[in-house]
Structure 1
Amino acid sequence: MTENNVEQPPRPQRCVIVVDGDLPAGKAANAAAVLALTVGQRHPALVGEPLVDASGCAHPGLIPVGIAVLAANQQEMSAIRGRAIAASCDVVTFPVQGQQTTDYGAFRDAVATVATDDLRYVGLALIGDRKPVSKAVANLGLLR
């Protein structure tokens, strides 16, 4: 409970970003950043308390549970998404069309022409309880 007696939703226990391991470093970093921004908006409870340094200067809070950034290939992405959704994880997807244009309207239009099962992803973010998230990304290594 908060001081206003309003119950806050529990903080998710795990947050993982999975990026296409074949992307060049800049595009992989872009995919992770885009996903992280959306995760922060969808799960504000993931943001920790502000950090205060020895001079008393406050710095914005960061995620206290950490975010592993893992690599997968294109064929694995849809399967990971499916496993995570089946396990009731929140899944944020970044379809490949998002790195093919800088126009968000064109991005939306391009995604609208592809059926869900045919979408390919440059990245995914999985948020939820530790065990289901871990199971969905089992055997994946860190992005290098």
Structure 2
Amino acid sequence: MSRTYKTRARPARDARRVTDNDEPVRFETKIAFLLRDDLAAWQRINATAFLASGIAAAASELIGEPYEDADGTRYLPMFRQPTMVFEGDKDDLTAVHDRALRRGMAVAVFTGDLFTTGNDRDNRAAVRAVPRDHLDLVAIAVHGPRNGVDKVMKGTRKHP
């Protein structure tokens, strides 16, 4: 009588995070940010923070559990999955924006006008005042299926 032995399946390369029971965590979706390459450092950071809040607000299932250190100090939860940050020029932003909308992905935009406003009401009014094809996009965030986000971001490069 012969026996068949099966080897344990290897975790996927992108399953770097493990749970308490060491089971690989696989993510079916991806979050990506695209920042225009001519922005000042403070503008890149500012736009990314605002875009992240938009993605988090629209998809609460993307938020993990609260953090806690060894002393029991609790911290706020964050995205439970990795996020990628890319950079590109104005044409890249226009192309990514168009591809993401055509695919029906969740999209957050940050326009150049938002650097001059001081509150959410004025931010929304600044975006609402400009037709989609004429937005001065300086940053964009997308959330969607992992392979779809990869296709939408094609042609951009990882932020240094």
TM-score with structure 1 setting the length: 0.83
After superposition, the C-alpha distances for 1:48-71 in whole angstroms (9 at most, x for unaligned) are: 112222223322222121111110
Instruction: Structure 1: state its 5+ residue gaps.
Output: 1-10
Q: 1:106 to 1:139 in 2, by over 3 A?
A: same
Q: Supply the RMSD in Å over aligned alpha carbons.
A: 1.8
Match for residue 126 of structure 2 among 110, 124, 129 = 110
CA contact (8 A) 1:78 1:120 kept: no
Percent of aligned pairs with the same amino acid: 25
Bigger relative contact order, structure 1 or 2 (CA pairs below 8 A, ≥6 apart): 1
SS at match of 1:127: strand
Question: Counterparts of 1:30 and 1:16 in 2: how far apart (Å)?
Answer: 16
| Deviation of the 1:105 alpha carbon | 4.2
Relative to structure 2, which stretch is displaced further, 43-52 or 129-138?
43-52
Q: Residue 143 of structure 2 corresponds to which residue in structure 1?
A: 127
SS in 2 for 1:17: strand
Write the distance in 2 (CA, Å) between the matches of 1:58 and 1:104: 29
Residue in 2 that maps onto 1:74? 90
Pick aligned residue for 2:111 from 65, 80, 95: 95
- TM-score, reference length from structure 2: 0.75
CA distance in 2, matches of 1:49, 1:36: 17
Unaligned runs of 5+ in 2: 1-26
What is the deviation of 1:139? 3.1
State the aligned residue count. 134
Matched residue type, 2:151: K
**CA-to-partner distance for each residue in 1:25-82, whole Å, 9 max, x for gaps?**
0011100011011111111111111222222332222212111111011121121011
Paired residue for 2:52?
A: 36
Q: Please state how far the C-alpha of 1:88 moved relative to its aligned partner.
A: 2.2
